[in-house]
Structure 1
């Protein structure tokens, strides 16, 4: 018998959010040291992902009765795991172009909305390009799904690995707690409010169902609209951030680039000297890279503030292995207008501290949940409002801190990006793995046609702080103006 399950309201919001210029799919790339055996890779996915997560065998259907997960009676794994060829010379540039091409193509709605593209590179290695629709799960959950396909040694049995939690391995979880990675560092204070948000959403869903079952009732769409208006009011008063080339009318063509990894121990060491967290260091590097790009284009940067929407994990401890979307968004203003790298770092630290204890994450979760119950036109208005307040979407997630192996081949690098919406033209990915930090970007061609010019600046921005720690007396580093004056003498 075919299984049928109602899609949660927040997941319905993501399902209905697809637009030709903004496809609601999470896209990632995993680069391996060596060739992946296609048949073994397929068996690994079948035994570990499809058996453990039935959602990947289901189609998302929408009709007059709502949105539903329905078993795909004609499921064929070969329609979801494909082999593709890169054009010569099959290097990093060609792989980046291939990932961008995949980011611009919609997933087939008549099948479960996920796909793995296995490609071979000229250096004898392999890469897997991942596409999964946001309605299935958020990026935090999907990192766990991908981790469940890996092992801590190359000769692990194919059926193994199912004991790995859906987040990261134990080492990564400990690492994230110790270093206060962004997605966990501000989630704790909002747990109670999140439960209240879920309660509100559930209550409104019951009212909506009452309307459908009893058209004569006084409860109608207005009750949903009123609840959304109350939640959105505070965010609506938030001023727009600075106008830059990173924001505008999106097109259907995307661009992708990623940097070479930075050693995580170096980031930690410099952060300890400067009294800043790993997060502070990485986010400051992002602000510096965006600033450097704008300066290189001849754009004005004085006083520029770029607001990034950052997903924050709101999963309860006992729901680590569940799919779906359980995250809120917080708005972080990157001090792009500050030239002094130390001053920019300390400003970033101050803004991060201000976000701790913020209720933004659970408020936006509630908004997304309520929007999924509302008529499509109202949902779009709400989402356009949120998007108008920001320039970028930025994910910052800790991955495993030991090397992992998939189908017997070592995973060398991994990146993933969540989709943008509205006029947002840039997505930033920060992911730590195996003692390194990886930066990546996805951009809209209409706004940023050369994201590699930003990606290559990430390491340079960190190196500025590294050299200051190596060359300047540590006591002076607390005063950015004093350091700047000393360097000019």
Structure 2
């Protein structure tokens, strides 16, 4: 049998840098960036990094000036332009590092330090950065935890950039230990080589069928997205909050997972790391809901092994998808040579990812279902469509209609 070629990665427009908002003086925020200022979509990217040594704040400030502030968005205000109906635009400004670098050095034992870090991150999610300064800050916690000698927390408003662009910025700041001027190597996924044979009717038929399947899946997913925005709600469960829950305080608890264990499952299941983590999430949510429903039953104890879950629970998540084209390792290294050349922005779409809520005898079944759902979402252009739909809605109807589908309209 001939081996068919796998589907190529979805390619977006070639001039990606033209889509991303460059931060030239007076340029308006992109539609997606404006959407992140809506109450239901007001999102910050919060990153906590454990460090093996104590952090010197003066060294951090010196490197922020020399490195990060070369990126225009990190030294620009988001100012309302009254000439264009209050539309936000980028305006360069002088950065006072005392407003952006916060240092805490509490004297606590290790157990209390772990709780302190969790509380600190939770409090950051409840507060906002003033728009009178560039919307980012760095929090240095010189406190010994169970896993690190100190913790550095970076908070960036999502209007500045998405996760992929921020990771590119972080990588451009890092260097090899063996060579202070050399960028670290990036391990990119290996592409399958196309078959050397010219192929036959069956191979061309399979390729045509794959293309038609992508368009059919896209049509189904876009219709389902529109139905969800209008009226199709998820099943009411203890996980579902009331309208406006996105603005309420939340509790953040972190758990350190062994990457070696994740890779072991990934390799054994011929899956991806995302598949494994989604499977773990499905297992955790299923057991949590089973326990909650068991306690709500009359005389129920929610014991493990007793299925208390209602049938056909509909639970979905809005999953973000990077729309940038795949870069080769040498292309990525060339892009990261200069901090100012790193393209910050929000080139992301989103898909509705369904979770399977059920108790499984075999824990690996959670990974199998996550892998199947992930493969199905890869064979669709839903993320590309939602990106352009959001831009269109924002352009003609404002940011409220272009926000993420966190609740139905009717």
Same fold by TM-score, threshold 0.5 exceeded?
Answer: yes
Matched residue of 1:131: which SS?
strand
1:103 aligns to 2:125 (yes or no): yes
Aligned to 1:369: 391
How far did 1:174 drift? 4.1
Aligned to 1:9: 31
How far did 1:328 drift? 0.7
For the residues of structure 2 that align with 1:82 and 1:117, how far apart are their CA atoms?
5
Largest Rg, 1 or 2: 2
- Do 1:11 and 1:372's aligned partners in 2 also have CA atoms closer than 8 Å? no
Aligned to 2:234: 241
For the residues of structure 2 that align with 1:232 and 1:269, how far apart are their CA atoms?
35
1:61 aligns to 2:79 (yes or no): yes
For the residues of structure 2 that align with 1:48 and 1:120, how far apart are their CA atoms?
22
Aligned to 1:432: none
Count of residues in Structure 1 that have an aligned counterpart in Structure 2: 321
Q: In structure 2, list runs of 5 or more residues that go unmatched.
A: 1-23, 193-210, 216-220, 295-307, 336-341
Change (3 A) 1:138 1:7: same
More strand by share: 1
How far did 1:364 drift? 1.4
Q: TM-score, normalised by structure 1?
A: 0.59
Alignment of structure 1 residues 55-94 onto 2, 5 Å: 55-64=73-82, 65=84, 66-72=87-93, 74-86=94-106, 88-89=108-109, 90-94=112-116
Matched residue of 1:328: which SS?
strand
For the residues of structure 1 that align with 2:286 and 2:99, how far apart are their CA atoms?
43
How far did 1:71 drift? 0.7
1:325 aligns to 2:346 (yes or no): yes
Matched residue of 1:237: which SS?
helix
Aligned to 2:161: 137
How far did 1:360 drift? 1.1
Report the aligned-residue RMSD: 3.0
For the residues of structure 1 that align with 2:368 and 2:222, how far apart are their CA atoms?
31
1:313 aligns to 2:327 (yes or no): no
For the residues of structure 2 that align with 1:152 and 1:308, how far apart are their CA atoms?
37
Matched residue of 2:376: which SS?
helix
1:287 aligns to 2:296 (yes or no): no
Q: TM-score, normalised by structure 2?
A: 0.70
For the residues of structure 2 that align with 1:271 and 1:129, how far apart are their CA atoms?
29
Alignment of structure 1 residues 133-212 onto 2, 5 Å: 133-153=157-177, 160=181, 164=183, 169-174=184-189
How far did 1:286 drift? 0.9
How far did 1:86 drift? 4.6
**CA deviations over 1:219-265 (Å, ceiling 9, x no partner):** xxxxxxxxxxxx9765122443322222213143121111122233x
Q: In structure 1, list runs of 5 or more residues that go unmatched.
A: 179-188, 194-230, 390-421, 423-489
Alignment of structure 1 residues 244-393 onto 2, 5 Å: 244-249=237-242, 250=245, 251-264=247-260, 266-298=261-293, 300-302=308-310, 303-316=312-325, 317=327, 321-340=342-361, 341-376=363-398, 379-383=399-403, 386-388=405-407
